[in-house]
Amino acid sequence: MTERRLETATFAGGCFWCMVKPFDTLPGIEKVVSGYSGGHVENPTYEQVKSGATGHMESIQITYDPALFPYAKLLELYWAQIDPTDDGGQFIDRGSNYRTAVFYQNDEQRKLAEQSKEELAASNRFRKPIVTQILPTAPFYPAEEEHQKFYKKNPHRYAEEISESGRAVFIKEHWQKRER
């Protein structure tokens, strides 16, 4: 019997509360952790990151089985959760800590991320340029426990955040397939 080989993917997509659920229960996804990546402070707190002073972005780190859920599929799902044209944050959440980025772990992830970004730009789905950054992996610091699996712990607040932030409307308007 062959041992499963798990890999890691890290994405910044604005509010990490909103980014976990779309990935969390899919076959081949072992775990999704909310946290912080891309900054210059070791072990930052939520309040430090929220202030914008640490350089971190709210991120999720996904442990997955590429045989069941390939990285290219993770990228497809990632793009469909964000506004890749907004470099000032995501939806109602503004600031550098809410920017979008793909943190690649290796050359293969980098190539796939760059290719998917180019394909998205060529699709003409958006009128503005795609500004999501493709960056080398950076230290990832898990967020405090109250931020983990927020959608399960606080379903009403999660629903409010998705709705009131404008994320749900944006996803419906820009990402859900339209009948022609």
pLDDT value for 70: 97
Active site residue 15: yes
* DSSP reduced 3-state for 77: helix
The 3-state DSSP composition of the chain as helix, strand, coil percent (nearest 5) reads 40, 20, 40
Q: Set out the domains of the chain in order of their start, with CATH numbers.
A: 7-174 (3.30.1060.10)
φ and ψ of 19, to 5 deg: -90, -20
Tens digit of each residue's pLDDT, the chain (180 residues): 556 799 999 999 999 999 999 999 999 999 999 999 999 999 999 999 999 999 999 999 999 999 999 999 999 999 999 999 999 999 999 999 999 999 999 999 999 999 999 999 999 899 999 999 999 999 999 999 999 999 999 999 999 999 999 999 999 998 876 433
pLDDT value for 178: 47
- CA dist., res. 160 & res. 22, Å (int): 16
pLDDT value for 2: 58
Q: Position 130: which residue type?
A: I
- Does residue 158 contact residue 150 with C-beta atoms inside 8 Å? yes
Q: What is the pTM of this model?
A: 0.94
- CA dist., res. 20 & res. 13, Å (int): 10
* Residue tagged active-site, from 11, 13, 14, 15: 15
